[in-house]
Amino acid sequence: MLCGCVAAGAQAARQEPVQHEFTIRNFKTEGGIVLPEAKIVYGTYGVLNAAGDNAVLLPSHYMAEMHGYGWLIGPGKALDPAKLFLVTSEMFGNGRSSSPSNTPEPLHGPRFPAMTIRDNVLAVHRLLTEELHVKHLRAVIGFSMGAQQAFQWAVSYPGYMDRIVATSGTAKTYGHGIVRLEGQIAALTADENFKGGDYTAQPEKGIQAFSMVWAGWLFSQEWWRQELWRSTQPKGATFEQVVEHYRTHFIPGADANNLILQMRMWESNDVGKTAGFNGDVEAALKSIKVPVLYMPSATDLYFPVTDAKYEAQFIPKCSLVPIPSLWGHPAGAGASPADGKFLNEKIAAFMAGSW
């Protein structure tokens, strides 16, 4: 347990997360398959107070690990680890938590069970309550698939947190998003070296094809027209070099089966499928009791702002605040300095209760 007896000064000053691992024996997935050992890698910043109620959960996004929220953490930012205990959880399938690539037979590779957002939320709830003894969360704050998890937290455990923040992510994946993801999976699996997931070496051509499809949706069309990529590239970089980088280094070291598992998890996301709601997403959204700061990117092609507007009308205490950005999906993770400033100011005000 991390508590006030830990050297508070050293922990509060730390701007890098401390890595931990939590194991659940015989974890039954929503699909009914049992993982003999379900492992969750997570990071912590700061110190849990004696009351066990100064914690904020930051669930990871697609293929991300514990460092994915640096844009929001630190002195002068919305989340100060000198005051808060921050937990950054890593989803199943990222290659560090239990994944197709690191699970032994008979569940290795393509035989690893399908996982859902609810599987992740259930596992992390056990982590927080059983290992860290967090009695209550100040907030769940999530970007992209982390936003999917934040909405699921609010539906599954409506009294466990004070508020949620969702940036660049929705409570359900709608038809267009599923079609996009299926296109990426098709590009990856078309490589003859994929071999139904039983490859002996990564299907590089398939992963590169997947990467190019993904990159085509990542930023807005206007971002490309205005060549805003120049702000993050070395002087003299060319368009061709940028495209080749996305083709070959989009997710360095990624495993094909891991990529597919998390895409299927993304596709299946739907708070309406939570027990008791019979597939009714509107009823599930109406059940959310806590205040919600809903921040879609105005130019997101993954989670269009129209989907967020549709969902927000059913959430009782919802502030819908689109991010005015040309950076597309990554705007929700502070992709540009202006995005980072906007997010930190709005989230800090929301956390302070002055929204």
First to last CA, the chain: 33
CA distances to 29, 107, 183 from 25, in Å: 12, 15, 35
| 265, 268, 272, 277: CA torsion to nearest 10 | -90
What integer is the mean pLDDT of 205-225?
Answer: 97
pLDDT the model gives residue 355 = 61
Residue range 334-351, pLDDT digits in tens: 999 999 999 999 999 999
> Where residue 61 falls among pLDDT bands split at 50, 70, 90?
very high
231 close to 330: Cβ distance less than 8 angstroms: no
DSSP-assigned states of every residue in 141-208: EEETHHHHHHHHHHHHSTTSBS-EEEES--SB--HHHHHHHHHHHHHHHTSTTSGGG--SS--HHHHH
Burial 316-350 (b: 16+ CB within 10 A, else e): eebbbbbbebbbbbbbbbbbbeebbebbbebbbeb
pLDDT higher than 60, residue 52: yes
> Where residue 59 falls among pLDDT bands split at 50, 70, 90?
very high
Residue range 19-44, pLDDT digits in tens: 999 999 999 999 999 999 999 999 99
> Where residue 2 falls among pLDDT bands split at 50, 70, 90?
very low
Residues whose CB is less than 8 angstroms from the CB of residue 130 and which lie 6 or more positions away in sequence, other chains included? none
pLDDT the model gives residue 10 = 36
> Where residue 15 falls among pLDDT bands split at 50, 70, 90?
confident
Residue range 152-191, pLDDT digits in tens: 999 999 999 999 999 999 999 999 999 999 999 999 999 9
pLDDT the model gives residue 287 = 98
CA 282 to chain centre: 22
pLDDT the model gives residue 354 = 66
In whole numbers, what is the pLDDT of the chain averaged over residues? 94
pLDDT higher than 90, residue 295: yes
Residue type, 118: R
Residue range 241-272, pLDDT digits in tens: 999 999 999 999 999 999 999 999 999 999 99
pTM over 0.75: yes
